[in-house]
Amino acid sequence: MGSFPKQDQVECKEKAEYANVNWDELGFALTKTDYMCIMNFNQDERQFSQGTITRFGNIELCPSSGILNYGQGLFEGLKAYRKEDEGILLFRPEENALRMKIGADRMCMPSPTMEQFLDAVKKTVLANKRWVPPHGRGSLYIRPLLMGTGQNLGVKPASEYTFLVYASPVGNYNKGELNLMVEDKVHRATPGGTGGVKAVTNYSPFYKPLTEAKAEGFSDVLFLDALTGSKIEEGSACNIFILKGNVISTPTADGTILPGITEKASWNLHQVEELAVPIEEVFDAEEVFCTGTAMVVKSVASITYQGKRTEYKMGAETVAQKLHAALTGIQTGVNEDKLGWTMAID
Ligand SMILES: *Cc1c(COP(=O)(O)O)cnc(C)c1O
């Protein structure tokens, strides 16, 4: 099995300024865009090739590839926003590149260099420029994937690797309330496991409790630590903060929690204590919120634990709303970027 994919390299042709999309109807689902970027790992040179832009489409994989058989893979997620003047900004893409490198070490994979990662992300966004929603009406969600390809029957690291970046326009994720259900039987991560990296294998194992929680009307599950079942960790793809008095706390990410880039940005904008958060703390918290690239910052309306439901402060006066405004202001170029968090790519 040679290197893949077989798609020909294509030139990006000038297209209409904006794709024909009803931007205000977008949720968080895939809208296929024009192009994707692919780099293969060259075993002889021990490095990834430069990124190649190809038509967005299906890829060829050997049935015995490492990603399909043993889940040797990682993903990332970041967004490109359009400014009022039509320019395009990325939010801290270096953080995603670093997190992918840490994940690649954990998963025994080679990783693209910082430069290659940023180059592939920029190329993908520029090639799909007409899919970046107008200012204030959503963003282009960028999904980098790193995976073991090539043939691999035995349980061992793959013989070949591919780094691929695709993108999809998404809406401003603010519809509906966030009502969490504490999951006390299924654990997302264990000490020594891969919970601290965005390994593809961390997600489908909790589809069962998540599906059950959704069937009961909840929006997401809140996981507890696997060792004691007494401390909150995070949601299915978001970090959690609780506010009591003047103190904001968030569980320490020490291997079983994914260190979020939005979470880290929030600490910078607001004083936050990183510590173990016992489940009892959610009963008398005044405000709770979640952070993640998809939702940015979102207030939690309620948390239910063993049948007991606790409700929290919502609305314009919450810290969550203020943080959301501050962060999206920087991301969309409305607020001055004093911390140098954005990268202009046009
Ligand atoms: C991606 C992810 C987050 C949020 O990370 P961001 O970098 O803020 O998007 C939180 N928890 C889990 C489990 C995740 O996969």
Which domains does the chain possess? 6-170 (3.30.470.10), 179-331 (3.20.10.10)
Please tell me the least confidently modeled range out of 14-28, 60-74, 208-222, 304-318. 14-28
**Reported confidence tier of residue 5, pLDDT bands at 50, 70, 90:** very low
The atom number, within ligand 1, closest to the CA of 239 reads: 10
Within 10 Å of residue 77's Cβ, how many Cβ atoms?
15
Residue nearest to atom 10 of ligand 1 (CA): 238
User: How high is the pLDDT of residue 6?
Assistant: 44
CA–centroid distance, 223 to ligand 1, in Å, is 14
CA–centroid distance, 197 to ligand 1, in Å, is 9
User: How high is the pLDDT of residue 323?
Assistant: 95
User: Residue range 328-342: average pLDDT?
Assistant: 96
The atom number, within ligand 1, closest to the CA of 77 reads: 9
User: How high is the pLDDT of residue 271?
Assistant: 83
Task: Give yes or no for residue 73 having a pLDDT over 70.
Answer: yes
**Reported confidence tier of residue 268, pLDDT bands at 50, 70, 90:** confident
Q: Write the secondary structure of the chain as one string of H (helix), E (strand) and C (coil).
A: CCCCCCCCCCCCCCCCCCCCCCHHHCCCCCCCCCEEEEEEEECCCCEECCCEEEECCCCCCCCCCHHHHHCCEEECCEEEEECCCCCEEEECHHHHHHHHHHHHHHCCCCCCCHHHHHHHHHHHHHHCHHHCCCCCCCEEEEEEEEEEECCCCCCCCCCEEEEEEEEEEECCCCCCCCEEEEECCCCCCCCCCCCCCCEHHHCHHHHHHHHHHHHCCCCEEEEECCCCCCEECCCCCCEEEEEECCEEEEECCCCCCCCCHHHHHHHHHCCCEEECCEHHHHCCCCEEEEEECCCEEEECCEEEECCEEEECCCCCCCHHHHHHHHHHHHHCCCCCCCCCCEEECC
User: How high is the pLDDT of residue 273?
Assistant: 86
**Reported confidence tier of residue 14, pLDDT bands at 50, 70, 90:** very low
**Reported confidence tier of residue 274, pLDDT bands at 50, 70, 90:** confident
User: Residue range 48-69: average pLDDT?
Assistant: 96
Question: What's the angle, vertex CA 289, arms to CA 192 and CA 200, rounded to 5?
Answer: 35
Residue 303 CB partners (closer than 8 Å, separation 6+)? 179, 180, 181, 182, 222, 282, 288, 309, 310, 312
**Reported confidence tier of residue 1, pLDDT bands at 50, 70, 90:** very low
Q: Which of 79, 122, 198, 231 is catalytic?
A: 198
Task: Give yes or no for residue 114 having a pLDDT over 90.
Answer: yes
**Reported confidence tier of residue 15, pLDDT bands at 50, 70, 90:** low
What does the mean pLDDT of the chain come to? Answer: 93
Residue nearest to atom 14 of ligand 1 (CA): 237
User: Residue range 61-87: average pLDDT?
Assistant: 97
CA–centroid distance, 220 to ligand 1, in Å, is 14
Express each pLDDT in 234-253 by its tens digit.
999 999 999 998 889 999 99
Express each pLDDT in 25-40 by its tens digit.
999 999 999 999 999 9
Query: The pTM is what?
Result: 0.94
The atom number, within ligand 1, closest to the CA of 188 reads: 13
> For the CA atoms of the chain, what is the radius of gyration?
20
User: How high is the pLDDT of residue 173?
Assistant: 65
pLDDT cut 90: percent of the chain above it: 86
101 is catalytic: no
Residue nearest to atom 6 of ligand 1 (CA): 260
| Residues in contact with ligand 1 (CB, 6 Å cut-off) | 77, 198, 234, 237-239, 258, 260-263, 291-293
The atom number, within ligand 1, closest to the CA of 95 reads: 7
CA–centroid distance, 221 to ligand 1, in Å, is 14
**Reported confidence tier of residue 16, pLDDT bands at 50, 70, 90:** low
CA–centroid distance, 44 to ligand 1, in Å, is 34
Residue nearest to atom 15 of ligand 1 (CA): 237
